[in-house]
Amino acid sequence: MEAVLTELEAALGHTFTRRELLVRALTHRSLANEFAPESADGHDKGAEDNERLEFLGDAVLGLVVADELFKAHPEWHEGELTRVRAQLVSREHMAEVAEAIGLGKYLRLSRGEERNGLRHRKTVLSNTMEAVIAAVFLDGGLETVTAFARRNIMGEAVEQLAVELRSGAALGNYKSALQERLQAERAGTPVYRVKNESGPDHRKRFLVEVRLKTDSGEAGKPLARGIGTTKKYAEQDAARRALERMKSVPIADVRAGEEPRERPAP
């Protein structure tokens, strides 16, 4: 066990003073429950699984990533910072980080869950990574977590996300990108309305218009129109067209009432 933990410490870049924290971070509840005695009411008594550490690790991770992004990108608005942080702390990305350092092979599972392949599930890897981050924080402090985050969680991923961010909407969806763009320019809030429906039920076509909501709460001037086989797709198309339009038309002209040129027919 000592040799195994030493190997993981090397991957984490931190040698633990209290190794019991690392052991607990690696302990899935299935193993803790397997050995924990039960109290009279049937609840586990003294189970040392990693779920509480997951809670703490999630909070520490969010703080560290937010702080690093805030310092490294003073040109980004709140919406941009929020979108990039969300990608970096997402379950998918944290599972990738866990896989990169081989965290799965250190996970302590019950025999039953071992047979079920739980060791390789992305959700379990992501949760365990958060628990390990909490253990590093409790043993080595915030700077140690920050060093790990810079090296393993952020790194090239931030630059790739920055490139995608400049593309307009690659990080999430066009509706979110449009809302954040309008927020940044204090131009208002987008609202979507179905203008037309056509086709049979199994081949519907929707024409949706996106408008700027005025201060009074009413739908104001149109930004763009989009089409799609569902309302959701049509709204995304309308938001995409609005973002494209705003590259060449100043938002002041849009607010003044200039009609969008694109009027796709359903």
Does 158 lie in the same domain as 198?
no
> Would 32 be classed as within a structural domain?
yes
Q: Which domain holds residue 181?
A: 173-256
Of the three residues 165, 195, 217, the one that is the final residue of a domain is: 165
Active site residues per annotation: 58, 130
Q: What is the pLDDT of residues 141-196, one digit of tens each?
A: 999 999 999 999 998 788 877 766 765 545 546 788 888 888 877 778 899 999 99
Q: What is the pLDDT of residues 44-92, one digit of tens each?
A: 444 588 999 999 999 999 999 999 999 999 988 887 888 889 889 988 8
> Would 53 be classed as within a structural domain?
yes
Does 113 lie in the same domain as 179?
no
Does 110 lie in the same domain as 219?
no
Of the three residues 112, 139, 165, the one that is the final residue of a domain is: 165
Does 190 lie in the same domain as 161?
no
> Would 261 be classed as within a structural domain?
no
- The answer, as to whether pTM is greater than 0.75, is no
Enter the tokens of residue 234. Answer: 């049509």
Does 155 lie in the same domain as 65?
yes
Does 141 lie in the same domain as 158?
yes
Q: What Rg, from alpha-carbon coordinates, does the chain have?
A: 24
Nearest to 154 by CA among 233, 94, 217: 94
Does 199 lie in the same domain as 140?
no
Say which residue the tokens 């190794």 belong to.
19
Does 17 lie in the same domain as 85?
yes
Q: What is the CATH number of the domain that holds 6?
A: 1.10.1520.10
Does 225 lie in the same domain as 101?
no
